[in-house]
Amino acid sequence: AAAARGRAPREAAHEALVRTRGALALAALTSIAAFLAFQRAHQRFLADMGLVTACGLAACLLGALALVPALLGWTLPRGEAPPPARSFGVERLVRGARRFPRAVLAATCLLSLGAGALVLRDPPTFSGDLRQLHARDSRPLGAQDAIGEVFGGGLDPLVLLIEADDEAALLAATHRLEPTLQAWVAEGRLSARASAAGLLPSRADQERALALLREIDPAQARADLRAAMVEVGFEPKAFGPVLAGWERALARRQPADLDTLRAAGLGGLVERFVHVGPAGAAGLILLTPPTGLWEEGARTSLADDVAALLAREEVRGLLSGLPYVSAEATRQIGADFEQVSLLTALAVVVVLLLRFGRPGLATLALLPAALGTLWTAGAFVLLGAQLNLMNLGVLPMVLALGVDDGIHVVHGHLGAESPRDHAIEVGVLLTSLTTLVAFGSLALSRNRGIASVGLLTLLGVTGCLLASVVVLPALLELRRPVGSAPWP
């Protein structure tokens, strides 16, 4: 604007720096404070994201204050006024909002009430289903569904880790759980189960079998078997190894254990389910559900039933698996974001109060982010969209952009020239449009996770932009002192 009035390039660049450095510094500081609050998150990736973003914003601020003015003074044409920058219609929006401020605020209230009602009726949910991050026509997911339909059961088996003082106690605990697990398979609650209990009968069952074997005379049984084979035309010598094994089993008088299987060359099968270490013995029980457990109800029901079974049989155990790991990560991330959001809001409010000194102006600066968040939440409900592990990462960026937009507009309102030449609103529009082009285009992706990032950015940035160039100017117009000249 200064160059257009005939100022020298260096003077025009210096004037632009003086007019905008306060808003630039304040916007950057609020965003840096917001992202530094992520250091309180328990999730490492959230803390790293906050630190990297804060450092990047600090570098951008230094570049904007030191490098950009010098480049402007070098690139601005000398001796002639540059062509006016395109406003893309934002001047008309601002003028319309200032001309009819009450109508704008009435429409804003209606829209906000509608969005609030939608959010209260059906709040946006956070999905931990990792399958929702892939394309709908994903071939691997399609293959998983086909395998599940043909062979039955979910493709993500659950792991029940049980612990005991020694191997014998561990095997006994596994056998105590086996009848209930077997009943769940018969009822269809599980598709299959596998554990060390499937390698050996329980000690009680073995004792009953041995009691029957003790009533049999091995020599007489051997003679009867050989006679029966000859009678039907078999040569007993041809079955020598089989008969020898049968005779050894018949002569056995002690129950078999896992060492018996190891001695028979089945150690690899045993080690799949049992591990003995200095701290005791640990065993695995693989549970295959009939379907995937990505729905919270089914996942919670099975977890509660397993916990009740462990408590009833007095077995120490822990249930795990991909659906449960994903659900726990979702819970922890949600808790981290709640904590970080409170710290972020507090940090931003403190910075704004220190700058503006008046709660009213600080509230106006926060208004675009607040309205943009509310409208985006309402749109998410209408579209049936969900937050997930991918789009949650861009939510802080959208909110920070909304706060920055509000700061620039309010800061420009406090100046003498900005409300009249609309340069601030044009700058807000340009920054929002570049973000929309860069991130909003992701909404066209076939990958549902990436598309959700684009959708959230598109809705959030658009909401913050409208609040900044329409709602905020209307409110500032109503705050104009009585008797002062209206802004054009």
Domains (range + CATH), the chain: 87-133+326-478 (1.20.1640.10), 157-196+273-318 (3.30.70), 201-255 (no CATH)
Task: Note the Cα 399 to chain centre separation in Å.
Answer: 18
Paired tokens of 470: 């329409």
Q: If we measure between CA atoms, which residue out of 115, 47, 41 comes closest to residue 342?
A: 41
**pLDDT at 480 > cutoff 80:** no
Confidence of residue 119 (pLDDT cuts 50, 70, 90): very high
Distances (CA, A) of 326 to 126, 145, 290: 12, 19, 19
Q: Render pLDDT for 273-309 as a digit per residue (tens, 0 to 9).
A: 999 988 899 999 999 888 766 677 777 888 899 999 9
Contact between 199 and 258 (Cβ < 8 Å): yes
Torsion sign (Cα): 216, 219, 224, 226: positive
Confidence of residue 3 (pLDDT cuts 50, 70, 90): very low
Q: Render pLDDT for 7-60 as a digit per residue (tens, 0 to 9).
A: 555 565 556 556 666 677 777 888 888 788 888 877 787 788 888 888 988 888
- Give the Cα separation of 28 and 48 in Å (integer): 19
- DSSP lists the bridge partners of residue 274 as 283
Paired tokens of 14: 């210096």
* Res 60: pLDDT: 85
Confidence of residue 254 (pLDDT cuts 50, 70, 90): confident
